[in-house]
Amino acid sequence: MGKPPINGVEFGTPVPQPGDRWIPVVQPRAKAPITVRVLSSKVLSTMVHWVPNALKPGSGHSAPHTKPDDTCPLCIEMGQVPRWHGYLGAWHHSTSRVVIVDLSVHAIHACSALDPARGHDLRGLELRLYRAGAGNNSKMMAELSKLTYKDDELPDAPDVAKCLARLWGLNNHGMLRFGDAGAAL
Ligand SMILES: [Zn+2]
């Protein structure tokens, strides 16, 4: 129930539901490592394309590999092989907000405990992500360390599949196929 408007401003807007939040997807950059506390229990994986922005060299966005290999429009139009990506809900210390970290296959190889096929519960662990070299495209590295906080001090994990489906413009019947396949590709 809102209060009467004051100069056209309506106060008393309901608190948005957690599912309505926009949660940023983050990766480490060469000069900006990321340290997070993991909220998800395991990595959620899918196959992803990188779509470069023709108007802005060096930038672009991720897009899901959505259909069987012989009919995915990005496979056909770009002649590009989709890549494995893994996603984890996490608490980002430096911005004090919930994020989704986007993990490359190299990060999983660097830290095999992240591999969802291994079945480790990752919630509560601290994860540091950084680049092996000087470029933002150099191999992503990952290190996990033991928890030092109690679980009840952590926020709930975001619904990573739902957040990504929204980011990628998919509805509930989107053809994105998430899984927990291992990264040993
Ligand atoms: Zn594809």
Whether the pLDDT of residue 87 is over 90: the answer is yes
pLDDT tens-digit series, residues 135-181: 888 999 999 997 666 656 788 999 999 888 888 876 444 445 555 55
Give this prediction's pTM.
Answer: 0.79
* Pair 133, 139: CB distance under 8 Å: yes
181 C-alpha vs ligand 1 centroid, how far in Å?
17
Q: Which SS3 state, helix, strand or coil, does residue 117 take? A: helix
DSSP assignment of 21-37:
----EE--BTTB-EEEE
Dihedral (Cα; 50, 112, 87, 30), 10-degree rounding: -60
185 C-alpha vs ligand 1 centroid, how far in Å?
16
Q: Which residue has the higher pLDDT, 115 or 20?
A: 115
Residues 153 and 98: their CA atoms lie apart, in Å, by 14
Phi-psi region of 58 (alpha: psi -120 to 50; beta: other; left: phi over 0): left
80 C-alpha vs ligand 1 centroid, how far in Å?
7
